[in-house]
Amino acid sequence: MSRLNGKFILLCTAIYMTGSLLTACSATRENSATPENQATVAPAQASAETAVTGQMDDMMQYYESLRKQSPADLGRVYEKVKQNFAQNKSDVNRARLVLLLILPNSSFRDLHSAINLLNEWPRDTKTTTSLQSFRNLLASLLGEQQRVNHGMEELSQKLKDEQKRVETLQSQIDAIKSMEKNLILREP
Query: How many Å apart are CA 13 and CA 7, to the nearest integer?
Result: 10
Domain range summary for the chain, segments of one domain joined by +: 2-152
Instruction: Dump pLDDT digits (tens) for 33-69.
Output: 444 444 444 444 444 445 555 777 888 888 888 888 8
Beta-carbon contacts of 118 under 8 Å, excluding residues fewer than 6 positions away, are 98, 135, 138, 139, 142
* Burial call 68-84: b when 16+ CB within 10 Å, e when fewer: eeeeeebeebbeebbee
Contact 64, 58 (CB under 8 A): no
Q: 10 Å Cβ neighbour count for 100?
A: 24
Instruction: Name the H helices within the chain.
Output: 2-31, 35-67, 71-87, 91-101, 111-119, 130-186
Report DSSP state, residue 90.
Answer: -
Contact 143, 163 (CB under 8 A): no
Instruction: Dump pLDDT digits (tens) for 115-131.
Output: 888 888 877 655 556 77
Short-list 106, 109, 117, CA closest to 139: 117
Euclidean distance between the first and the last CA atom of the chain, given in angstroms as a whole number: 63
Q: Which has more confidence, 186 or 42? A: 186
Instruction: Dump pLDDT digits (tens) for 9-21.
Output: 555 555 554 444 4
- Residues, the chain: 188
Contact 92, 61 (CB under 8 A): no
Instruction: Dump pLDDT digits (tens) for 68-115.
Output: 888 888 889 989 999 988 898 888 888 888 988 888 888 888 888 888
Contact 106, 74 (CB under 8 A): yes
pTM tops 0.95: no
Reduced to 3 states (helix: H, G, I; strand: E, B; else coil), residue 100 is: helix
